[in-house]
Amino acid sequence: MKPTTQKESSPARPTREYISPDVNIYETSEGYVLQAEMPGVNKQGLEITLENNEITLVGHRQAPAVAGEALFRESRAADYRRVFELDPAIDTEKVVARMDQGVLTLTLPKSERVKPRRIKVD
């Protein structure tokens, strides 16, 4: 499982600016776990699309603007977006997404036929 380059996903490339979220990807015998950091995004602001073995994560910031004048600002207002190419072993029907305190956790199980199994010797 790896991120696609912008070139590969150019047909769907949006005209507006996005931030690429930081991700961690783990692999176990059961499947993959992907964590993406999107502070300011909640369940309602999340858009996950699966198409042609590519998964697109988009996070729209939901946090309300703070009243007053900004004295100092490091955060950016742009939404998050990142595209990943999926390992063909992933069972796309069983992908589960969870959002907790600005971290999206995707659980991508491998399909039963590719999971390692012990073969009994008669």
Partner 1 sequence: MSSMIRWHRPGLSEWPDLGRLTDLRDEIERLFEAPLGELARTSQLLSGWTPALDVYEDKDAYTIRAELAGMKKEDIEVSLHDGCVTLAGERRPDDTLKDAEVCRSERFFGRFQRTVTLPGPVAVDKVKAHYQDGILTVTLPKTEEAKPKQIEVSVN
Q: Tokens 């004048």 — which residue?
A: 69
What does each C-alpha distance from 27 to 32, 62, 69, 86, 87 come to in angstroms?
A: 4, 31, 45, 12, 11
Q: Classify 92 as helix, strand or coil.
A: helix
Of these, 10, 15, 16, 69, which contacts partner 1 (CB under 8 A)?
A: 69
Residues in region 24-43 near partner 1 by CB under 8 A:
24-28, 32-33, 35, 37-42
Of these, 10, 52, 71, 120, which contacts partner 1 (CB under 8 A)?
A: 71
Q: Tokens 């729209």 — which residue?
A: 60
> What is the Cα–Cα distance from 39 to 62, expressed in whole angstroms?
10
Regarding 102 and contact with partner 1 (CB under 8 A), the answer is yes
Asked if 3 contacts 32 with a C-beta cutoff of 8 angstroms, the reply is no
Regarding 16 and contact with partner 1 (CB under 8 A), the answer is no
Of these, 13, 14, 17, 47, which contacts partner 1 (CB under 8 A)?
A: 17
Regarding 107 and contact with partner 1 (CB under 8 A), the answer is no
Binding-site ranges for partner 1 (CB under 8 A): 1-3, 5-6, 17, 19-20, 22-28, 32-33, 35, 37-42, 62-63, 66-76, 100-103
